[in-house]
Amino acid sequence: MKIAIIGTGYVGLPTGVGLAELGNQVVCVDKIAAKIEALTQGKVTLYEEGLEELYLKHLKSGALRFTLDMREAVDGADVVMIAVGTPPHPVTKEADLQYIYAAAEELAAYLDGYTVVATKSTVPVGTGDEIEAIIKKVNPAADVDVISLPEFLREGFAVHDFFHPDRIVIGTDSQRAREVMRRLYAPFADKTEMLEVSRRSSETIKYASNAFLAMKIHYINEMADFCEKAGADINEVAKGMGTDSRIGRKFLNPGPGYGGSCFPKDTNAMAQMGRKFGAMLNLIETTIAKNDERKLEMAKRVAAAVKHNPEAKIAVWGLAFKGGTDDCRESPAMQILEKLLHYNRNVTVYDPQAMENARAVLGDRVSYAADPYEACAGADIAVILTEWENFKHLDLEKLKAKMLQMQIMDLRNLLNKEEVCRQGFCYSCIGMKN
């Protein structure tokens, strides 16, 4: 099939590459000339494990093309996917739909023959109706179905998730559109749940899923606070809860709060929708407020650990919003760091992937280290803020020799407490008596 993808970000590019691998002819269109130039020349514009290899394969084969020209992408396409950003409005926190509407208006003119226009971007309930109205206004003769096709890819695992989806949600009442989507996703038919629902249900599924996961994280963080007071161990509690298949093991890792470009944005947008429709979403409202508070609490906890010494050197490990990505957007690590800087603390940072993105925000307000050991040279405390796998396997002997005070605060519960204490470190983590 011929597929047009509008937007070449964290959703559009992996989706385009994945669809090319499934045997489709894919044209990706974007407004940013530098991105299209790089992608046309074989330079992948974002890091995702396994992406570059597949991208280069299909760029060479001609199955994957990039253009600035909407007509070239949309003309003759069977499916047009909208995958542009929906950033939060700075004041209302509602999803800003200007890029979605601009894309709908522009693509409408070039529709040719029956086309399915599928919204991959996360959009508030009812946006499909608006997109349809815009297309019909620009091109009343267009033979088109506008559907919701939410994306569930995780950053850092986008390629894996594309080929191993838990479900594919197709939001439309049109049988014709459903048949086109069944053909497109036929390679997944016997291994993945294919859900055909109404457009509004589909739009809601995306928000309801992200908000539920955010709530699950808030829940385990609240339990961690409880365990600290009650003398229980959150790692044991999470394991005990997670073995109940109705609860599940995933997303029960306590930490400094959730972040990233999706959960904070989508929980806020969902809460805003609840207010708009007059159906208050109290659990989500609380999750948002408590998650914000948590990051502040964690910064206070770090500062309190070195309160006797205003000059203390704090080594921070991890800046990205989670392990496996270079993305610092809405990163709890960055927010905690900002608070520490607000307290005039002396901080040296290290992250395996996110140093460049962090530097753009932090500038010369912190010192940068080439590895976790260098970050700890002369440090009074090392603080783990991001769940990078390699932080689990550090050489504690080497660390000992570097640090001024042997103190580790592990806000991701990554390290083995017994082992770290055996080496003589003063160790604290989340959700247990330290």
What are the residues binding ligand UGA (CB under 6 A)?
122, 151-155, 210, 213, 217, 251-253, 255, 258-260, 262-263, 321-322, 387
CB of 109 to ligand UGA, least distance (A): 29
Parallel, antiparallel, or unpaired: how do β-strands 144-148 and 115-119 relate?
parallel
Catalytic, out of 28, 227, 262, 429 = 262
- Which residue from 123, 340, 419 is spatially nearest to 332, judged by alpha carbons? 340
Q: Are 428 and 434 in contact (CB under 8 A)?
A: yes
CB of 117 to ligand UGA, least distance (A): 20
Closer Cβ to ligand UGA, 284 or 403, answer by number: 284
What is the C-alpha to C-alpha distance for residues 9 and 376, in angstroms, rounded to an integer?
A: 35
Closer Cβ to ligand UGA, 31 or 160, answer by number: 160
Question: Which tokens in the block code for residue 297?
Answer: 């609490």
CB of 251 to ligand UGA, least distance (A): 4
Parallel, antiparallel, or unpaired: how do β-strands 313-317 and 381-384 relate?
parallel
Map residue 379 onto helix, strand or coil.
coil
CB of 256 to ligand UGA, least distance (A): 8
Closer Cβ to ligand UGA, 72 or 222, answer by number: 222
HSE on the CB side for 300, CA within 13 Å? 5
Q: In what order do the strands lie in the sheet with 193-197?
A: 64-67, 25-29, 2-6, 79-82, 115-119, 144-148, 167-171, 193-197
Closer Cβ to ligand UGA, 220 or 379, answer by number: 220
Closer Cβ to ligand UGA, 44 or 213, answer by number: 213
Query: Got the DSSP string for 208-266?
Result: HHHHHHHHHHHHHHHHHHHHHHHT--HHHHHHHHHTSTTT-STT----S---TTTHHHH
CB of 289 to ligand UGA, least distance (A): 17
What is the C-alpha to C-alpha distance for residues 141 and 128, in angstroms, rounded to an integer?
A: 18
Residue 262 a catalytic site member: yes
Q: Which residues are catalytic?
A: 262
